[in-house]
Structure 1
Amino acid sequence: MDEFNNINNASKEKETNEEKMNEVNQGYTEASITDEPVPFVEKEKPEKTIVKKQSVLSLWLSGLVGGLTVAVIGFLLLFNGVIPFQNEAISNNDTSEPTSSLIQTGTSEDDVSTDMLSNVGEAVVGVANIQDQSLWSESSDAGSGSGVVYKIEDERAFIVTNHHVIDGANSIEVILADGERVEAQLHGSDELTDLAVLSIDKAHVSTVATFGSSEDLVVGETAIAIGNPLGEEFAGTVTKGIISGVNRSLTVDSNQDGQADWTVDVLQTDAAINPGNSGGALINSQGEVIGINSMKIALESVEGIGFAIPIDEAQPIIEQLETEGEVNRPFIGISAVDFSTVPTEHVTRTLNLDPNEVTSGIVIAEVHPNSSAAEAGLETYDVITDIDGTAITNMMDLRQYLYQETNIGDTITVTFYRDGTQSTIDITLQGE
């Protein structure tokens, strides 16, 4: 394993260099400024005007006649009602199209009832992550987020929140609208989908949120985020925006090792989502939950890009966490690193591969005892390149294929290289 540790350390150094290059390459766009001087244009001199003098009597007579004429014509026009308003926009009889300065900002169909918001808001609670800071200090809040009460059953009120909200907690408390704290039971949590299910005594709950559907959402629909941004002080905050994007895919580094672990499908919204909103509800204009707020892009140059887990994808996970405590997925039984992170000298010397022939895959670092991989005969340093004819270029590809395309008990065909020779092997999948 010492040789493999050398490979792993070298790969991490390579990742660090790539991260530095990515930071350098992240440019920005700014408006261009023209420095060219504006040419000076000399004004033309006005020509002299010759004014002929008139007598005082002729001037007085012409003014009197002109004034009487205007007065008579004005009276006749006003009497017959034919003088239009100068500002047509305020005319009660105006039937013209609105001008470009008069823009409708919404329709009655998009109105959001304050009573509806109040009812849904009561189903959104705070969630406090309680951790022991040291052996000599009392437990305290390590962080807080939000949660959504979605069901009452058998004396318990069930709440969905994010995995990262409760991760590492020694205990969890639900913070009600009146500030009361209630100890919560954790039923299950899933790191990949960033979902967790809690429950409290139903005596503390009077309102349950209604799940809607995220399948038919379109860009531009109303989206309202409800949660506790920045903690208890701003509990029950409501922010309104639109659905900015659907079917977005984001790569997530769940274990913070610098490598993408999973790709999540999310809804994008410009409704303000801040720290503490995580686990709260994203609802539509009918008050139905269409997503669970999860993350945002936090850069100084970025505004209004938040993401929520679509409720149609969240519901099956919520049900498994509630009843089984975990999401049971197909499992091979290996630990591995991406082939692309292995330096060339280790590819040729340790793996005995031609880097021009094999360019992607995953390198097995460990085969777990009594696993499917161990029973099938996979070994350390084997390089897996595809499963059932589907290319496996990295660990994320492996997880996505297993979790989305297979079931526990299925048999898959794995193509791999060992000491420079390509082979195939059949593996029957177990559950994690």
Structure 2
Amino acid sequence: MGYYDDLGQVERKKNREPGLGRLIMTSVTSAVIGGMVVLLMLPTLSKSGYISMVQPSTANAMTNPSSNIFAQPISVNVDTATVRAVEKADKAVVGVINIQRVNNWFNQESSSVERGEGSGVVFEKKNGKAHIITNFHVIENAQKVQVVLPSGEKVEAKVLGYDALTDMAVLEIDGSKVTAVAELGDSDALKVGEPAIAIGNPLGLKFSRTVTQGIISALDRSMPVDVDENGQTDWELDVIQTDAAINPGNSGGALVNIHGQVIGINTLKIAQEGVEGLGFAIPINDVKKIVTELMQDGKLKRAYIGVQPYDLTNVPRYHWKETLNLPDEVKAGVVVMNEVTKFSPAGKAGLRQYDVIVKLDGQEITNGAQLRKYLTLNKKPGDSVEVTFYRDGFKKSVTVKLGEPVGE
């Protein structure tokens, strides 16, 4: 039965072949006629905008098959506030090289070598000279200092002044090749959360004038500074906290606001495992005051009180009662550790060894760093300060006329 059906199917196909030929001829004829009609109407359709005709001189996928392989380059003009801020400030950021003299133990000869690289900010140009702000620790122990301009040229620098506690230094170079001067802003006007841009030389001049961006993370931070590395805080450095990336080599560089104004001098970061985004800069308003005095005198003229301060919190609690006779309400202060000489400002006012200072001019003083900071920022030699202290369990007060450190 299957065979019959197959054979019968073949026979039926043979009987329909003449009709199929006619159908093919009709289709071909219709296609030819339709094509001719379209060709005749092309100009009219092109003018009406229904189709776009390819011009002979225009490159396209038909005439140049390789033209559609790669996307055509697009020129983008990026003009954001951040870009404008960087363009305004980055040419005023320079490199600072610390060159020291070292002895070669093998041949007993000395030579000059680069011991460190940091950053600096050109803040003034006048009388043919340019002045640069940087950190003291960038130029510490330097036998010679060089400044690297944005062009890559190195010039010799003169150290006009420095201060270890505030970590500030001022350099002077020939200003003939300096093309930009930074605009200094107002750090007192900063708000937490506003943009902050760090410009400097992280890891050295290989990455000169690197730009990183973040925000102002916090204001009015204080960082302890132990200059003599004796385990006791010598100074509390007021700083701006930012999460803009700051790395070794950024020290002395600029922290810039969105208007391109320098609002701080980058100085340090917390480098601990698992800690990110904790960088700090010295507020530019503090820098202005310090730099002015460094340029005039080469140093900060600190008021001298004549006591060797020691933090009460570092004294064993046993001595609080047995040696110092302090009442229970005293929780912090500064112990006078030295034998006070009678000709010193403190001695003339009647202060003695083991007195515990708790206030200066009515402002609470909890440690030696605060005592130094108050006298440095608020007093000059010749000024007077009211000292509140405890002696033998009694609260007393004296007025001390401040002097100038011996040898200064």
TM-score by length of structure 2 reads 0.71
For residues 73-92 of structure 1, the C-alpha deviation after alignment (integer angstroms, 9 at most, x for no partner) is xxxxxxxxxxxxxxxxxxxx
2:83 is aligned with what amino acid? Answer: S
- C-alpha distance in 2, partners of 1:368/1:235? 52
The answer (yes or no) to whether the contact 1:110–1:285 under 8 Å persists in 2 is: no
- C-alpha distance in 2, partners of 1:347/1:417? 11
- CA positional deviation for 1:342: 2.1
Q: Secondary structure at the match of 1:334?
A: coil
- C-alpha distance in 2, partners of 1:424/1:133? 52
- CA positional deviation for 1:294: 1.1
Q: How does 1:168-207 map to 2 (within 5 A)?
A: 168-207=141-180
Shift in CA distance, 225/364, structure 1 to aligned 2, threshold 3 Å: same
2:81 is aligned with what amino acid? Answer: D
1:353 to 2:322 alignment: no
State the match for 1:307 in structure 2: 280
Choose which of 132, 135, 141 in structure 2 pairs with 1:162. Answer: 135
2:337 is aligned with what amino acid? Answer: A
1:249 is aligned with what amino acid? Answer: S
- CA positional deviation for 1:199: 0.5
**Which structure has the bigger radius of gyration?**
2
Gaps of 5+ in 2: 1-77
- C-alpha distance in 2, partners of 1:321/1:293? 19
- CA positional deviation for 1:207: 1.5
1:151 to 2:121 alignment: no
The answer (yes or no) to whether the contact 2:326–2:390 under 8 Å persists in 1 is: no
Choose which of 244, 248, 251 in structure 2 pairs with 1:271. Answer: 244
Once superposed, which parts of structure 1, at least 4 consecutive aligned residues long, lie more than 6 Å away? none
- CA positional deviation for 1:231: 0.6
State the match for 2:227 in structure 1: 254
Q: Secondary structure at the match of 2:110?
A: coil
Instruction: Give the length in aligned residue pairs.
Output: 323
2:286 is aligned with what amino acid? Answer: E
The answer (yes or no) to whether the contact 1:415–1:422 under 8 Å persists in 2 is: yes
Q: Secondary structure at the match of 1:133?
A: strand
Q: Secondary structure at the match of 2:332?
A: coil
State the match for 2:69 in structure 1: none
Q: How does 1:2-401 map to 2 (within 5 A)?
A: 111-113=81-83, 117-118=86-87, 120-134=89-103, 136-346=109-319, 351=323, 353=325, 356=328, 359-366=331-338, 367=340, 370-401=343-374
Q: Secondary structure at the match of 2:337?
A: strand
- CA positional deviation for 1:420: 5.8
The answer (yes or no) to whether the contact 2:247–2:269 under 8 Å persists in 1 is: yes
Q: Secondary structure at the match of 1:169?
A: coil
State the match for 2:386 in structure 1: 413
- C-alpha distance in 2, partners of 1:311/1:220? 18
1:209 is aligned with what amino acid? Answer: A
1:325 is aligned with what amino acid? Answer: G
Shift in CA distance, 110/206, structure 1 to aligned 2, threshold 3 Å: closer
TM-score by length of structure 1 reads 0.67
- CA positional deviation for 1:421: 5.8
Shift in CA distance, 240/398, structure 1 to aligned 2, threshold 3 Å: same
- CA positional deviation for 1:370: 4.5
- C-alpha distance in 1, partners of 2:249/2:223? 21
Q: RMSD over aligned Cα, in angstroms?
A: 2.7
Shift in CA distance, 387/269, structure 1 to aligned 2, threshold 3 Å: closer
- C-alpha distance in 2, partners of 1:358/1:285? 46
The answer (yes or no) to whether the contact 1:277–1:293 under 8 Å persists in 2 is: yes
- C-alpha distance in 2, partners of 1:368/1:127? 43
- CA positional deviation for 1:124: 0.8
Q: Secondary structure at the match of 2:228?
A: coil
Shift in CA distance, 375/246, structure 1 to aligned 2, threshold 3 Å: same
The answer (yes or no) to whether the contact 1:222–1:285 under 8 Å persists in 2 is: yes
